[in-house]
A = this chain, B = another copy of it.
């Protein structure tokens, strides 16, 4: 039914993502969007709603551009009224709690647009997942990642760093550094200099995301960048941990170490205190690292290769692509058992990269010989029976 609404709209496309956001603008440059806050994000879903939105824009006189990869326009009172009218009284009435959240957005906006219409609300459509062109588009994608609507590493974020502005963050509010520079004297003398909590292009995960279940814990908001993804059951401790954007967990994981950009950690794994999973920007030759299920990264270990399920990296050791690792012939056979697709000849010493992604390996530094060794871990590995 809703699709009929857009039949007469030339060039109509279904968006991969869309939403309405409130934007924070520059204190000195009001044309600069510093942050976009979305109460609701739609990613490959709710196409009927996008149809209503597009129809309402059309009827309120907006020319929606379907040719560029993304389209952003200011929210107007007319648009809000049209859209609520199109959804109809019944849906608007029902829109509460978890139901019809996009309509809830319109309802709140309608109240905010009574009197003088504010100019800092935007409606954003991404027609395709190409390089983002705007701050609003980058934020929409970061939401899609952090709200687990899009899998990690699945979105095109090329150039995001160039689009976002480096800001001083005071709570959830971004402030232009130039504003602080220009007003430093006055602010300091008047005892009004703000408490700057961080300076970055990205905000923090907790500034935008409500953990989806009550068993997600983040003991320090500084430790998780917006754009990270945390599955239910994930705990992020405050010691040496950190989760970058486009990185995170796919199941319950204890995180006491670093999950660098593009790294993904699976259900039941344990990232020990100070353990470092290298990122695509730091030491993995651009290969993103996945850590398999129930794999344990010991305290202060460093992992520079992907690991399968049920592995153990002993505390304090570094397993990198070039690390030379000895495997005993008997252990080699045991490792092959849980990795039936691993077709290599035995050769005694292997490079780390040659063991990438294998299941059930225990890495250890033998402190009687100084050799790095790999052997079959005592952790269970469940093979996918359908495949083997």
Contact across chains for B217 and A200 when beta carbons are under 8 A apart: yes
* A371 located at the interface, meaning its Cβ lies under 8 Å from any Cβ of chain B in the complex: yes
Contact across chains for A177 and B282 when beta carbons are under 8 A apart: no
* A180 located at the interface, meaning its Cβ lies under 8 Å from any Cβ of chain B in the complex: yes
Contact across chains for A188 and B37 when beta carbons are under 8 A apart: yes
Contact across chains for B298 and A316 when beta carbons are under 8 A apart: no
Contact across chains for B221 and A197 when beta carbons are under 8 A apart: yes
Residues of B close to A349: CB separation below 8 A: 368
Q: 15 extra interchain contacts, Cβ-Cβ under 8 A, other than A196-B207, A222-B222?
A: A168-B210, A172-B194, A180-B210, A199-B217, A200-B217, A200-B218, A219-B225, A222-B238, A239-B242, A239-B258, A274-B276, A274-B300, A314-B318, A326-B368, A365-B367
Residue of B nearest to A178 (CB): B214
Q: Which residues of chain A from 185 to 219 have a CB within 8 Å of any chain B CB?
A: 185-186, 188-191, 193-201, 206-207, 210-211, 214-219
Q: How far is the CB of A70 from chain B (nearest CB, A)?
A: 21
Interface string of A357-388 (1 = CB under 8 A from B): 00000000111111110000000000000000
Contact across chains for A369 and B367 when beta carbons are under 8 A apart: no
Q: How far is the CB of A162 from chain B (nearest CB, A)?
A: 12
Which of A's residues lie within 8 Å of B, judged by CB?
A: 22, 37-40, 97, 101, 104-105, 108-109, 112, 121, 165-166, 168, 171-172, 177-178, 180-182, 184-186, 188-191, 193-201, 206-207, 210-211, 214-223, 225, 237-242, 256, 258, 260, 270, 272-274, 276, 278, 282-283, 298-302, 304, 314-318, 320, 323-326, 349, 365-372
Q: How far is the CA of A214 from the CA of B298 in the complex (A)?
A: 36
Q: How far is the CA of A57 from the CA of B146 in the complex (A)?
A: 51
Contact of A318 among B215, B278, B316, B366 (CB under 8 A): B316
Q: How far is the CA of A349 from the CA of B222 in the complex (A)?
A: 44
Q: How far is the CA of A189 from the CA of B123 in the complex (A)?
A: 13
Q: How far is the CA of A197 from the CA of B196 in the complex (A)?
A: 13
Contact of A372 among B97, B210, B256, B367 (CB under 8 A): B367
Q: How far is the CA of A331 from the CA of B166 in the complex (A)?
A: 44
Contact across chains for A37 and B370 when beta carbons are under 8 A apart: no
Residues of B close to A195: CB separation below 8 A: 171-172, 207, 221
Residue of B nearest to A202 (CB): B219
Q: Chain B CB within 10 Å — which of A165, A222, A278, A372 has the most?
A: A222
Q: How far is the CA of A108 from the CA of B192 in the complex (A)?
A: 13
Contact across chains for B200 and A219 when beta carbons are under 8 A apart: yes
Contact A206-B217, Cβ < 8 Å, known A239-B258, A320-B315: no
Residues of B close to A239: CB separation below 8 A: 223, 240-242, 258
